[in-house]
């Protein structure tokens, strides 16, 4: 069974930075798309950014120019570098991956942007 474990969340002031990591573990065959989603308080889960195994990336408009997604295929890990954070970025951030055709979710990590 493959699991995703996120780390790197926390409390940060507006304008600050955080880096999230998500590592896949278990009997890994092949991981195609990896992504970060978030769920703001009282709202639905939304896609933040995704990245293919070949490195093609896509971002939601509100984070373009501030966030950067990357992955290390050798380590089965995806990262989300978040800069110039805003209060509206406050959410639980979830890692997502497609492993052997099956969608897998991480448990989520809280990111709070507040002064």
With a cut of 70, which residues of the chain have pLDDT below it? none
Q: How many residues does the chain have?
A: 115
Tokens 């995704």 map to which residue?
A: 50
pLDDT tens for 49-75 read 999 999 999 999 999 999 999 999 999
Give the whole-angstrom CA distance, residue 27 versus residue 10: 30
What is residue 104's predicted lDDT score, i.e. its pLDDT?
96
Cβ neighbors of 56 (< 8 A, separation 6 or more) are none
- Angle, CA 77 vertex, CA 73 and CA 81 arms, to 5°: 115
Q: Which two tokens stand for residue 115?
A: 């002064």
What is residue 34's predicted lDDT score, i.e. its pLDDT?
96
What is residue 30's predicted lDDT score, i.e. its pLDDT?
87
């Amino acid at each position: 069974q493959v699991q995703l474990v996120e780390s790197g969340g926390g409390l940060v002031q507006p304008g600050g930075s955080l880096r999230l990591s998500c590592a896949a573990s278990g009997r890994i065959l092949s991981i195609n798309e990896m992504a970060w989603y978030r769920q703001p308080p009282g709202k639905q889960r939304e896609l933040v950014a995704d990245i293919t195994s070949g490195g093609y990336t896509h971002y939601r408009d509100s984070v373009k120019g501030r966030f950067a997604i990357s992955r290390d295929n050798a380590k089965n890990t995806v990262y989300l570098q978040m800069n110039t954070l805003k209060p509206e970025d406050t959410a639980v951030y979830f890692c997502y991956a497609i492993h052997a055709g099956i969608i897998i979710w991480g448990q989520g990590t809280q990111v709070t942007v507040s002064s």
